[in-house]
Chains A and B, each alone.
Chain A
Amino acid sequence: NAGVTQTPKFRVLKTGQSMTLLCAQDMNHEYMYWYRQDPGMGLRLIHYSVGEGTTAKGEVPDGYNVSRLKKQNFLLGLESAAPSQTSVYFCASRTRTRGNIQYFGAGTRLSVL
């Protein structure tokens, strides 16, 4: 079991470039989440999904899009990267059972110049 795998681990973009972050989980979890972590702030929810084919906005969704075409994958897209999107991005997943803990990926460090 790999758990939750994020790719890539590091990326540097120029302003205006696009990219997709991939999150893959092999635990058959229904729920998946994308967070960003910035200095001095708690983890903030960008988008989440409660099942294949469904997505919902979180606390800070602007500038990001997501897709959940397969249950095991949750993609986070930046269509036109901005320096304000420089952050560490974490993916997490959990089962549908109420209250179950979230399992996190190792994170993706993104710099937008």
Chain B
Amino acid sequence: KNEVEQSPQNLTAQEGEFITINCSYSVGISALHWLQQHPGGGIVSLFMLSSGKKKHGRLIATINIQEKHSSLHITASHPRDSAVYICAVRKTGTASKLTFGTGTRLQVTL
């Protein structure tokens, strides 16, 4: 079983919809990252969380350490949000390395 599980694997939404992508992990962590992989392949970091909630524009990331779960929300989705969203964790005791989920492919249509 993967240490980092994302759901759903694929998601299609209409423009304007509120979107939630989930990440669950089964190991102790010191931080969780959300990344975005564009259709062209480039990967950018969106958030790093160790507790609570962070917001950047229309993106909101939350984490519940006790439940070992994080969510990435996109408000008022737009076709340009279409991408693969990747969750990654820094396991306790592995300061240098990240463990990645398999990603959630999001397509937002007009």
Contact = CB atoms under 8 A, between A and B. Distances in A.
Interface of A: 31, 33, 40-45, 48, 50, 56, 58, 88, 90, 92, 98-104, 106-107
Given A101-B33, A103-B45, 13 more contacts: A41-B102, A42-B4, A42-B88, A42-B101, A44-B100, A45-B97, A48-B97, A92-B43, A99-B48, A99-B50, A102-B98, A106-B40, A106-B41
Interface in B41-70: 41-45, 48, 50
B95 interface: yes
B41 A42 contact: no
A31 B90 contact: no
Interface residues of B, number: 25
Nearest to B41: A107
A50 B96 contact: yes
A106 B30 CA distance: 27
Contact of A43 (B40, B44, B45, B86): B86
Contacts of A99: 30-31, 48, 50, 90
Contacts of B43: 90, 92, 104, 107
B42 A58 contact: no
A25 to B, nearest CB: 14
B24 to A, nearest CB: 14
Contacts of A101: 33, 45, 48
Given A101-B48, A106-B42, A58 B102 contact: no
Contacts of A103: 45
A58 B42 CA distance: 22
28 contacts: A31-B96, A33-B97, A40-B102, A41-B102, A42-B2, A42-B4, A42-B88, A42-B100, A42-B101, A42-B102, A42-B103, A43-B100, A44-B100, A45-B98, A48-B96, A48-B97, A56-B96, A88-B41, A92-B43, A98-B95, A101-B45, A101-B48, A102-B45, A104-B42, A104-B43, A106-B42, A107-B41, A107-B42
Given A42-B100, A99-B31, A104 B4 contact: no
A48 B44 CA distance: 19
